């Protein structure tokens, strides 16, 4: 029985109930403060979505948090906590739901939360632009080499 409490399944259950508990607490607080979340506009939804995307990317992929991911992922112990946490730190789907919850808490309850979410959202848009520009550059380079090869092939045929 003691091994169950050290297992990955146990920690997955703990994380799940923690998530549900936080949702319930937030819902209760929202109800108590009479905050109507249905008043959110499309712009709020876009800001929160982009901020959650950027926070997820920061946690799962960006170099600045390598130290945290490496600490958990490279752990060789049989600790269920570390095994369950590996998914949280390496899976964008797993981290995304927690980061969304975090961003919503910031946005709704902290005085600087909206500013923080706007910064994250703008950074998210900037990362989309960077990826798009890089993709366009790669396609352009590929086409340039393709045309160069095509010209070589046609030049070789005309000399025959």
Computed on alpha carbons and rounded to an integer, the radius of gyration of the chain in Å comes to 24
End-to-end CA distance of the chain: 82
List, for residues 35-73, the tens digit of each pLDDT value. 888 888 999 999 999 999 999 999 999 999 999 888 888
User: Domain spans of the chain?
Assistant: 2-158
The pLDDT of residue 146: 84
DSSP assignment of 62-89 equals: -GGGHHHHHHHHT--S--HHHHHHHHHH
Q: Which of 17, 53, 41 is nearest to 131 (CA)?
A: 53
pLDDT tens sequence for the chain (160 residues): 568 777 888 999 999 999 999 999 999 988 898 888 888 899 999 999 999 999 999 999 999 999 988 888 888 887 888 888 888 888 899 899 999 999 999 998 898 999 999 999 999 999 999 999 999 999 888 888 888 888 888 876 765 5
Residue in this structure with the two tokens 């902290």, named with its chain if needed: 110
Read off the tokens for 39. Answer: 């008043």
Q: What are phi and psi of 78, to 5 degrees?
A: -90, 15
> Contacts from 20-26 at CB under 8 Å and sequence distance 24+?
22/101, 23/101, 26/101, 26/104, 26/105, 26/108
């Amino acid at each position: 029985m003691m091994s169950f409490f050290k297992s990955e399944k146990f920690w997955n259950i703990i994380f799940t109930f923690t998530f549900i508990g936080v949702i319930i607490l937030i819902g209760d607080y929202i109800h108590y403060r009479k905050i109507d979340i249905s008043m959110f506009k499309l712009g709020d939804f876009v800001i929160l979505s982009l901020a959650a995307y950027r926070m997820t990317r920061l946690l799962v992929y960006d170099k600045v948090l390598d130290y945290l991911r490496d600490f958990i992922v490279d752990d060789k112990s049989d600790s269920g906590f570390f095994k369950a946490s590996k998914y949280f730190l390496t899976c964008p789907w797993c981290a995304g739901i927690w980061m969304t919850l975090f961003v919503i808490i910031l946005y709704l309850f902290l005085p600087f939360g909206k500013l923080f979410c706007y910064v994250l959202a703008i950074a998210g848009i900037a990362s989309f632009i960077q990826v798009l520009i890089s993709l366009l550059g790669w396609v352009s380079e590929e086409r340039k080499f393709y045309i160069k090869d095509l010209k070589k092939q046609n030049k070789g045929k005309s000399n025959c």
